[in-house]
Structure 1
Amino acid sequence: MSEDDGATGTGDAGRVALELADWRRRVAELYAAVRQEADPREGHRLWRAGRDALFRGHPQSALRPGDPLRETGLPCWPYDPAYRFEVMLEPVPDGSRALELPSGENGSTLLRAVGLLELPEPVGGTVTLWWLEQYAGGLFLPLRDGTAGAESYGGGRYLLDTAKGADLGTAGPGDRLVVDLNFLYHPSCRYDDAWLCPLAPPENTVATRVEAGERMA
């Protein structure tokens, strides 16, 4: 299993459940430390180190044994402050709507649109913020950009998945969402197709190349 929908296969259900709970706990603690850091660049450094440590040695790592990324760390573009925004959430014009995304051979993920985010330049474009109905609910913001299929995973990357601990928080009095694209990360299915994960829908696609966050190499 992973921070996504979980790996398929058999095994000791109790052990796997405890490992998954520990993974999510550690991810939540990592993002809590990021939110407390006043310097976004330093927060990004903490995030990269924490992600590398989890993927290197945690039993729920999506990296297969012997994967060289366990030693080198996950490839990532250098931090660029131009990709950090504080964005107001705008209403969905046609009201809240649901979307069911396939998340594997026999699974699906139900999302509900809760608002629109207009991303400033250098990105440009509007994307949808979703509420993930699984896991007792949580904000979910995937993104597929112009690097997808080459420098980043073809199915897109994730920025927010608050049900699993990936939460950059809000700014000001809490009416603006922190959208720092330097924290875009690959879903676990990028590393091993035994993991199941919903991919970015068309509403979360931008043509601009976002050279920030995790990359393929």
Structure 2
Amino acid sequence: MTGVTVSLLDWRRRMAALYAEVRADRDPESGWLRWRAGRDALLAGHAESPLTAAARAGFPGLPFAPYDPSLRFVVPVDTDVEPVRLGVATTDEGGVVLHRIGRVTLGEVARLDVWWIAGYAGGLFLPLRDGSAGDTTYGGGRYLLDTLKGADLGGDGGRLVVDLNLAYHPSCTYDPRWTCPLAPEGNRVDAVIAAGEQLPPGGSWY
């Protein structure tokens, strides 16, 4: 393997291990604090950090809204939805294909489509673009789950743990060299969801 491949493998392993720690913590807010600290450490010091070298040099940690326990949900996936296939262009390997496999209802906050990323092994993908996009959060939205990259909060019996406090920005937020799958129409809500990762003062990392 090349040095880049080994480095990326290490990033993936560390991120998966971090989410495993969150799932194992019986106190959701404690798990959230552990997750924040782990992400800050990876973004500040890992070779695969999406932050530019300049941003890493003075990195103060990611800004977050305060934890709100009412924004954590354990919900069933409603699979009675019309199948939808989306092709999303990215900078690596030509893009990804998303298949809509269901929908989750997060109380009165949001109803979001659940996607499966096609390809070898595949993975669950749950993006969100709320009313804060373009203001206090990235204009293209944030991610809640991306199990292909280790971002998995768990669940059982067809239910998913979806915690809006763990909404995080995709790599393209930190550096324009990245292209990320963004929130499709069924993952956009008008209401401002005051939770999760926020943009830094000034609104940009670069």
Same fold (TM over 0.5): yes
- Normalised to the residue count of structure 2, the TM-score between the two structures is 0.91
Q: Percent identity?
A: 51
8 Å CA contact retained: 1:92, 1:113 = no
Which residue does the alignment assign to 1:116?
Answer: 103
Structure 1 length-normalised TM = 0.87
What are the residue-to-residue correspondences of 1:172-183 with 2, within 5 Å?
Answer: 173-183=156-166
State the SS of the aligned residue for 1:139: strand
1:211 aligns with 2:194: yes
Contact 2:114–2:125 under 8 Å retained in 1: yes
Output aligned runs, 1:108-187, within 5 Å: 108-121=95-108, 123=109, 125-134=110-119, 136-170=121-155, 173-187=156-170
Q: Say whether the 8 Å CA contact 2:67–2:195 is kept in structure 1.
A: yes
Q: Which residue is equivalent to 1:192?
A: 175
Compute the displacement of 1:82 (Å).
1.4
> Residues 59-84 of structure 1, C-alpha deviation per residue, up to 9 Å, x if partnerless?
00011112168531011111111111
Q: Which residue among 16, 26, 36 is the counterpart of 2:4? A: 16
C-alpha displacement at 1:92, in angstroms? Answer: 3.6
**Matching residue within 26, 32, 45 for 1:38:** 26
Secondary structure in 2 aligned to 1:67?
Answer: helix
Change (3 A) 1:87 1:60: same
Is the contact between residue 143 and residue 204 of structure 1 (CA under 8 Å) also seen in structure 2?
A: yes
Check whether the contact 1:55–1:70 (CA below 8 A) recurs between aligned residues: no
Shift of 1:134: 3.7
Q: 1:106 to 1:178 in 2, by over 3 A?
A: closer
Unaligned runs of 5+ in 2: 201-206
List gaps (5 residues or longer) in structure 1.
Answer: 1-12
1:85 Cα offset (Å)? 0.8
| Distance apart, 1:209 and its partner CA | 0.7
